[in-house]
């Protein structure tokens, strides 16, 4: 049956600046894809990320180039051969999963052999600020089971200690976003243990993480920027205990599922993460959350306005979107972003 593919740029203002060691952002810029086949509409979203050399314009151009292939009936496997891993392929892969489930009268979870998305403890991210401001955010989320602390190289001890004091019962992920050096790992090791840090995420630049093979921190350490696809796993063995699987890096749910299984087979613990995005970008990732040791899918909570039927948060428990929002179900909803 004849298909049509449409892609657009959506920009979502944030409720507060999202500051990490690399810089700050005040909007989430995404590409939104719809694939229409008869009465059914599949939707997907990807986040072009400058750190990986992606732009919205280039992602839209890649989607325009791939559109005739999909309109001609190509499936997700053919898409993976036509587009490299990244935001454009993620958006189109998600739209094809959604379309397939709706056309089959089923759900993506059922088609993929996964449990349906359920409420899950997802990290509440605390962006870089002065320690007092970070502590205030932590105090507002004192009942959340998991907090993620963004830090830099200038004041990580004060930042971490402020959050820990304000939220003594929470599990903590500390994320320097590649801003530390080897000396920081050594100098901060005892401090991280004393602060009961549960996971240290990508402390070193991706191209300079070989030191972890001989000097791994005492706390578990997770690869984020160092991991994109299955091809990276062998290099990460012996350096990291966990890997952060993100659909935008892997190139969609199809590739992320294979990556997660391969990582587990090699003995890595799983983290499922995201970029700052809307609920449309999070819905596919939620299907991976049930098997993860750490879940970090609070991207939509940073938006000033999300889809009204999207994810919710209850004291650090992320609740899935409404039935029919994405991935099949009773409604082909979707017309797209409200407003």
Q: What is the mean pLDDT of residues 5-24?
A: 97
The answer to whether residues 16 and 148 belong to one domain is no
307 domain residue, yes or no: yes
Q: Are residue 79 and residue 133 in the same domain, yes or no?
A: no
Task: Look up the pTM and report it.
Answer: 0.94
238 has pLDDT over 90: yes
CATH number of the domain where residue 81 is located: 3.30.390.10
For the cut 80, the answer to whether the pLDDT of residue 339 exceeds it is no
Last residue of a domain, one of 112, 144, 171: 112
User: Catalytic positions, please?
Assistant: 150, 246
d(C-alpha 183, C-alpha 169), whole Å: 29
Q: Is 67 left (phi over 0), alpha (psi -120 to 50) or beta?
A: alpha
Q: Which domain holds residue 89?
A: 3-112
Q: Are residues 81 and 16 in the same domain?
A: yes
245 and 305 together in one domain: yes
DSSP 277: -
* 161 lies in the same domain as 256: yes
Count Cβ atoms below 10 Å from residue 236 Cβ, excluding itself.
21
Calculate mean pLDDT across residues 20-28.
Answer: 96
- State whether 42 and 189 are in the same domain: no
Taking residues 188-210, what's their average pLDDT?
A: 97
Length of the chain: 339
- How does residue 13 score in pLDDT terms, banded at 50, 70 and 90? very high
Residue 198 lies in a domain: yes
Q: Between helices 279-289 and 253-265, what is the axis angle to 10°?
A: 30
Residue 303 maps to a domain: yes
Residue 158 lies in a domain: yes
Tell which residue, 303, 304, 295, has the closest CA to residue 118. Answer: 295
Structure confidence at residue 335 (pLDDT): 39
Question: 76 and 176 share a domain?
Answer: no
pLDDT given at position 338:
41
171 and 225 housed in the same domain: yes
Least confidently predicted of 27-36, 155-164, 241-250, 323-332: 323-332
Is there a domain that residue 148 lies in?
Answer: yes
Q: Are residues 101 and 140 in the same domain?
A: no
Q: Which of left, alpha, beta for 73 (phi over 0: left; psi -120 to 50: alpha)?
A: left
Residue-level pLDDT at 2: 85
pLDDT of residue 103: 95
- Domain edge (last residue) among 112, 143, 163: 112
Q: Is residue 326 part of a domain?
A: no
Same domain, 168 and 315: yes
333 assigned to some structural domain: no
Taking residues 27-42, report their average pLDDT. Answer: 97
Q: How many domains does the chain have?
A: 2
Asked which of 112, 143, 172 is the last residue of a domain, the reply is 112
User: What's residue 248's pLDDT?
Assistant: 98
What confidence score (pLDDT) does residue 330 get? 55
Residue 151 scores a pLDDT above 50: yes
Sheet holding 23-37, edge to edge: 3-20, 23-37, 40-46
Is 297 found in the same domain as 177? Answer: yes
Same domain, 68 and 190: no
pLDDT of residue 329: 67
Listed residue (242, 190, 192, 246) closest to 212, CA to CA:
242
Is residue 338 a part of any domain in this protein?
no
pLDDT score for 328: 87
In CATH, what number is assigned to the domain containing residue 205?
3.20.20.120
Q: Give yes or no for residue 32 having a pLDDT over 90.
A: yes
Judge whether 139 and 167 are in contact, CB under 8 Å: yes
pLDDT at 333: 40
Q: What does the pLDDT read at residue 108?
A: 98
């Amino acid at each position: 049956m004849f298909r049509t593919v449409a892609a657009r740029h959506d920009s979502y203002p944030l409720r507060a600046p999202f500051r990490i060691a690399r810089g700050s952002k005040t909007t989430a810029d995404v590409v939104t894809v719809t694939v229409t086949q008869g009465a059914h509409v599949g939707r997907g979203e990807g986040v072009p990320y400058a750190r990986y050399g992606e732009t919205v314009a280039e992602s839209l151009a890649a989607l325009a180039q791939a559109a005739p292939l999909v309109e001609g009936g190509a499936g997700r496997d053919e898409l993976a051969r036509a587009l490299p891993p990244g935001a454009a392929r993620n958006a189109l892969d998600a739209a094809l999963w959604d379309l397939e489930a709706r056309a089959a009268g089923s759900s993506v979870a059922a088609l993929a052999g996964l449990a349906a998305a359920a409420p899950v403890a997802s990290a509440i991210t605390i962006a870089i600020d002065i320690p007092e401001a970070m502590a205030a955010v932590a105090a507002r989320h004192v009942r959340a089971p998991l907090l993620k602390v963004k830090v830099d190289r200038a004041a990580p001890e004060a930042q971490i200690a402020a959050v820990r004091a304000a939220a003594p019962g929470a599990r903590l992920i500390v994320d320097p976003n590649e801003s530390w050096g080897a000396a920081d790992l050594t100098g901060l090791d005892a401090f991280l243990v004393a602060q009961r840090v549960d996971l240290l995420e990508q402390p070193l630049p991706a191209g300079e993480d070989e030191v972890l093979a001989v000097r791994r921190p005492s706390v578990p350490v997770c690869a984020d920027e160092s991991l994109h696809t299955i091809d990276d796993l062998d290099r990460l063995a012996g350096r990291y205990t966990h890997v952060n699987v993100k659909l935008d890096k892997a190139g969609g749910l199809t590739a992320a599922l294979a990556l997660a299984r391969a990582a587990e087979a090699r003995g890595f613990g799983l983290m499922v993460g995201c970029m700052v995005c809307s609920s449309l970008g999070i819905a596919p990732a939620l299907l991976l959350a049930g098997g993860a040791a750490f879940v970090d899918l609070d991207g939509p909570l940073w938006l000033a306005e999300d889809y009204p039927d999207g994810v919710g948060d209850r004291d650090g428990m992320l609740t899935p979107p409404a039935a029919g929002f994405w991935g099949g179900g009773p409604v082909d909803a979707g017309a797209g972003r409200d407003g």
